Structure 1
């Protein structure tokens, strides 16, 4: 029995030692696991901290934006260049490389004229290099380009733009083999590419290069702003150009917008508004439409008074949808734009034009001047402002008055009477005869009753 007790005690001791070893091993394993977890956490924290920006992701002075996908998907072709890249967003794209050689040739033409003592490549590069950070801040996203490459792009693209403007205005001679001016389709494509929101240079760059290359002995030379406005007169709905309004200029698309809203009276805006009926529906309610032929310079000045809507004429060319969509996208992206004038205008035209019949009526009235078909015009304006927010609507009072007039039944009855009974002399004669017969019948009945009693 004693031997058995000793054996049991030894076994228990061995088991205790094994259990202790297991506990130690388990603790060591837990510590190793905790250490691995801590290291993993530290790696993740370090990765996050390394990517946290110290400054806001978009500088406050940003004015050149990527088109948001929610707007791009309606018509992507309206936002991308077909011929030339300006600025960093489309720089280096394969389909646009042909124009890079023409850009450099235009730079050679500018430098070759040597208009001022400051017109040297070294001077121009130094001038733009001094404002490099401002230029980078004008773009909403970080531009991943070296300083040398970025400044080179600004100089070449900026000199190309001002040389195009001067050649277009015939302030400098055009070369006979210049493809931009003597190839039918290229100027149309160039104008469209130069107003795209993603294809812009900061205005400060273009303005700086312009003044450093302007001939001092030609006081009759036009200002840069006027040259730009005249260059875009055709694509900008053929509105009479205005460049005298004291508005800050940010880029070429902003030049177009400022010109379009230059004479438009800034009426009280509202965040709440209601759509109005279409042209066809308003005609049934007795609304008349007139063209304001004296306002080719102010397409936004739409009025409604005493049942008459007066709309200034607007010329719709092939690039009109692209310009509309880029202007609307610009108003949606730039937080400094409070009043969405162009978006508000698109809302009105979209409400009025539901079908090709509506478009055809406005074309016949010469409110819309175009070579496009009525179906194309209807497609252009339908859903033009979809997925936008019109924070401050310019036509709130107008839409309120139009809807009040439309909902008044008396106006609809008047329209029916004029259309069905007073549209021609025979209708008037028939109505008068019917009223006379009805009157005589009533008098005869009345006379019979009086005679009876």
Structure 2
């Protein structure tokens, strides 16, 4: 019996110890579960705090950062070298020198006091009233305080207005003005001010212009023409043409280039066309359109003749092309990729430096760059872009149909090899005459035999 009691007590003791172990394990599991639950709640709280109820950009967005897929081809054509405008490039160390000139231009404007409304309080109040609309123009949230954002809009906008007026000689230029004492500064400023990342909403510049104007000209039209005349040497030497109110300066340049361009039907499907050299072999003739009312985009093809308006290619051409093409890719309100379509046509036509040299000789391309540089420029201009609505679909279809017709190539070979000079014509005629006499002689011999 004693042994049984001991045995029973041991069993009871073991069960109590197991019970303690189970309770300990449960407490540990509960602690782990509680910790995991707390961690989950912290993560959920963190994510919820970062969620946006509104999209990061709106349909009103028109100023964007250049994506890396486009920037990687040539980053320097998207980055300002002298002046920062707007929030994307604001505060860069290499651009701080120009900040002093911008503040001096603002002082000159206020000191001149062209109107009774020209005072700093009035200008700040006017821009402050449209602050949210201005922020919505940018393709991402601007993390700047209201004070810094409005200050930046006023300083940058007044600088642009004063620069345009001084360039047009509408206001006096100080003898010590470094912008006009050094020609290179204006050249660099023209390039910096059309960069997509370096833009102000047009409403800001227009508002500041209206409150500081000295005459009774139509406000928006006068400002737009001042802007286009400022950019004219850099915008492919095209005649400035106002075409509605733009969203910013780069949009104004694009609208001016499209102003006299007849809008053709657009297509999502298109085929490339042969190069200049290949088209010449098929008998295509190239002509430079000298009509002053034609703009550079108005390329036509009819009866084997391709007419291309002249285009001025300067050192800044790649930068302007790339920023215009990037803008067409980003702005949701732009459907027809006119500039990108034009780049496609030039890229198709120019495969080698020989093609570029031919267009230069025809004065279709006017440039101081080498033919190798021109060929390289258009070869990679629209890489990694999507030309959703192509503007030259009918032209490419007509050109390809003409090129694929063998008769046109045979005519070209005959003209080149046999009718290019009088001696070739004489040799062909003599050969045909000899062939004719040989045939007649053979025929006479056969008739005589039979």
**Under TM normalisation by the shorter chain, which class is it?**
over 0.9
Residues 219, 429 of structure 1: alpha-carbon distance in 2 compared, 3 angstrom cutoff: same
Distance 2:265 2:216 in 1: 46
Superposition deviation, residue 20 in structure 1 = 1.1
Number of aligned residues: 450
Partner of 2:246: 249
Question: Does 1:353 find its partner at 2:350?
Answer: yes
Residues 301, 221 of structure 1: alpha-carbon distance in 2 compared, 3 angstrom cutoff: closer
Could you tell me whether the CA contact under 8 Å between 2:210 and 2:219 is conserved in 1? Answer: no
Instruction: Report which stretch shifted further, 417-426 or 170-179.
Output: 170-179
Partner of 1:162: 161
Distance 1:406 1:296 in 2: 29
Instruction: Report which stretch shifted further, 104-113 or 387-396.
Output: 104-113
Distance 1:93 1:219 in 2: 36
Partner of 1:57: 56
- Superposed CA RMSD in Å reads 1.4
Distance 1:222 1:18 in 2: 93
Which secondary structure does the structure 2 equivalent of 1:290 belong to? strand
Partner of 2:117: 118
Query: Which residues in structure 2 correspond to 1:157-306 (within 5 Å)?
Result: 157-216=156-215, 223-243=222-242, 245=243, 247-295=244-292, 297-306=294-303
Instruction: Report which stretch shifted further, 349-358 or 208-217.
Output: 208-217
Distance 1:93 1:235 in 2: 25
Distance 2:344 2:295 in 1: 17
Partner of 1:446: 443
**Aligned partner (choices 325, 331, 336) of residue 334 of structure 1:** 331
Residues 38, 129 of structure 1: alpha-carbon distance in 2 compared, 3 angstrom cutoff: same
Query: Which residues in structure 2 correspond to 1:134-173 (within 5 Å)?
Result: 134-173=133-172
Superposition deviation, residue 6 in structure 1 = 1.3
Which secondary structure does the structure 2 equivalent of 1:223 belong to? helix
Distance 1:175 1:219 in 2: 27
Superposition deviation, residue 264 in structure 1 = 0.6
Instruction: Report which stretch shifted further, 279-288 or 296-305.
Output: 296-305
Q: Deviations over 1:385-441 (max 9, x none)?
A: 011011100000000111111111111111111111111111111011000000100
Superposition deviation, residue 34 in structure 1 = 1.4
Superposition deviation, residue 219 in structure 1 = 8.3
Distance 2:41 2:328 in 1: 44
Which secondary structure does the structure 1 equivalent of 2:57 belong to? coil
Structure 2, unmatched stretches of 5+, are: none
Q: Deviations over 1:121-142 (max 9, x none)?
A: 1110110010011111111111
Could you tell me whether the CA contact under 8 Å between 2:245 and 2:252 is conserved in 1? Answer: no
Question: Does 1:29 find its partner at 2:24?
Answer: no
Query: Which residues in structure 2 correspond to 1:88-107 (within 5 Å)?
Result: 88-107=87-106
Partner of 1:397: 394
Query: Which residues in structure 2 correspond to 1:354-369 (within 5 Å)?
Result: 354-369=351-366
Distance 2:292 2:440 in 1: 57
Distance 1:252 1:219 in 2: 18
Superposition deviation, residue 221 in structure 1 = 12
Superposition deviation, residue 257 in structure 1 = 0.1
TM-score, normalised on structure 1? 0.97
Could you tell me whether the CA contact under 8 Å between 1:353 and 1:378 is conserved in 2? Answer: yes
Could you tell me whether the CA contact under 8 Å between 2:418 and 2:424 is conserved in 1? Answer: yes
Q: Deviations over 1:167-200 (max 9, x none)?
A: 1111111112211112121111000000000000
Question: Does 1:409 find its partner at 2:406?
Answer: yes
Superposition deviation, residue 151 in structure 1 = 0.5
Superposition deviation, residue 112 in structure 1 = 1.5
Structure 1, unmatched stretches of 5+, are: none
Could you tell me whether the CA contact under 8 Å between 1:241 and 1:297 is conserved in 2? Answer: no
TM-score, normalised on structure 2? 0.98
Residues 397, 221 of structure 1: alpha-carbon distance in 2 compared, 3 angstrom cutoff: closer
Superposition deviation, residue 105 in structure 1 = 1.0
Distance 1:203 1:156 in 2: 14
Which secondary structure does the structure 2 equivalent of 1:97 belong to? helix
Instruction: Report which stretch shifted further, 109-118 or 80-89.
Output: 109-118
Question: Does 1:42 find its partner at 2:52?
Answer: no
Superposition deviation, residue 218 in structure 1 = 7.2
Residues 103, 365 of structure 1: alpha-carbon distance in 2 compared, 3 angstrom cutoff: same
Partner of 2:421: 424
Distance 1:220 1:161 in 2: 15
Which secondary structure does the structure 1 equivalent of 2:301 belong to? strand
